[in-house]
Amino acid sequence: MTETDKDKKQNYNLNKLHKRLRRNVGNAIADFNMIEEGDKVMVCLSGGKDSYTLLDILLNLKLNAPINFDIVAVNLDQKQPGFPEHVLPEYLQSVGVEYKIVEENTYGIVKEKIPEGKTTCSLCSRLRRGILYRTATELGATKIALGHHRDDMLATLFLNMFYGGKLKSMPPKLISDDGKQIVIRPLAYCKEKDIEKYAIAKQFPIIPCNLCGSQPNLQRQVVKEMLNTWDRQYPGRLETMFSAMQDIVPSHLCDPKLFDFKGIKHGQIIAGVEGDTAFDEEELPAVPAALEADDDNDYADNGLIQFKSVA
């Protein structure tokens, strides 16, 4: 293959990847009504691959979206030692987006309050959340966009099951406890593998995430490794599990807060619930359902931005 052929193939692959990410983000925005006419979306930029990809795709969607919305990028400079302060301003100026760098020494607070060797992430992220909420109010932002993706949501589901005893993940859209902020996760349908490839191809100036010196969250790492192993051994399993998160049958779990088991009466027909499988083996497809339906690896992407029901 000549160099020109290689370049052509690389461009073709990048184009396909870009279309897929754009389509995934457009669909998530539409499915959860994440962005509405006149919104000002504050995109939280950490300098990692996920938040760069989020900003890039949102800026791209904005160009062709059937609604008007504004974007402001925000980075919180937490004053970790070695944080390269120039990187994000230079990048943000180069893409021409409105931005704000918020400087708050949360690193110093965390170091002062948490004894050496203990995990600092929970205090650090609480402080960060407060600062970002305050910044959103100051900027008049109506939505706060975070860069979590499908694989973060799956990992959180298992972490909560394994360690928290709850069937709970990371919501694609949520409202803050005081009802003042709406947080959205437009990458909810995007695979981490796609984001990784995109960030490399686009050569985003990634800022290392270990500047604070905190130990990585071992529980999350173990769960991520488990998911990655499944993905290698059983292609389609992650897709199927994510589909399952979108198709929940409360009458076939055991949470009486979600389903009135006590109130079940003779003659009652419950809409939307499949037949009684209490005595039968579940009939499961040989191939994971989501793999059959997954068109991410073929040419089905026509490049149209869905944004189906946003308007």
Q: Could you list the residues known to form a binding site, using ranges.
A: 121, 124, 212
Tell me the residue length of the chain.
311
Name which of 46 and 240 has its Cβ closer to ligand SF4: 46
Of the two residues 160 and 214, which places its CB atom closer to ligand SF4 in the complex?
A: 214
CB 22 within 8 A of CB 305: yes
Considering only 27, 105, 160, 214, the residue that binds ligand SF4 (CB under 6 A) is: 214
Which of 30, 87, 101, 121 is close enough to bind ligand SF4 by CB under 6 A?
A: 121
Q: Which residues contact 57 (CB under 8 A, 6 or more apart)?
A: 21, 22, 25, 186, 187
212 forms part of the interface with ligand SF4 (CB under 6 A): yes
> Which of the stretches 118-126, 142-150, 167-175, 240-248 binds ligand SF4 when contact is defined by CB under 6 A?
118-126
* Binding flag, residue 219, ligand SF4 (CB under 6 A): no
> Closer to ligand SF4 at the Cβ: 67 or 114?
114
Binding-site annotation, residues for [4Fe-4S] cluster:
121, 124, 212
Burial call 16-27: b when 16+ CB within 10 Å, e when fewer: bbbebbbbbbbb
Map the footprint of ligand SF4 across residues 6-65, applying CB under 6 A.
none
User: For 42, phi and psi rounded to 5 degrees?
Assistant: -90, 110
Total binding residues toward ligand SF4, as defined by CB under 6 A: 6
Q: In sequence order, which residues have a C-beta less than 8 Å from that of residue 192 and are 6 or more positions away?
A: 50, 149, 150, 151, 152
The DSSP-derived string for 138-163 is HHT-SEEE----HHHHHHHHHHIIII
Comparison of 121 and 291: residue with beta carbon closer to ligand SF4 = 121
| Distance between start and end Cα atoms, the chain | 46
Name the DSSP letter for residue 164: I
Pairing between β-strand 182-184 and β-strand 173-175 as defined by DSSP bridges: antiparallel
**Cβ–Cβ < 8 Å for 139, 179:** no
Task: By CB under 6 A, tell whether 120 contacts ligand SF4.
Answer: yes
| Interface map 85-104 toward ligand SF4 (x if CB under 6 A) | --------------------
Could you tell me the smallest distance in angstroms from the CB atom of residue 215 to ligand SF4?
9
Query: Whose structure tokens read 């994971």?
Result: 288
**Identified binder of ligand SF4 from the candidate list 124, 157, 159, 207, rule CB under 6 A:** 124
Name which of 120 and 240 has its Cβ closer to ligand SF4. Answer: 120
Among 125, 137, 219, 277, binds ligand SF4 (CB under 6 A): 125
Residues that bind ligand SF4 (CB under 6 A): 120-121, 124-125, 212, 214
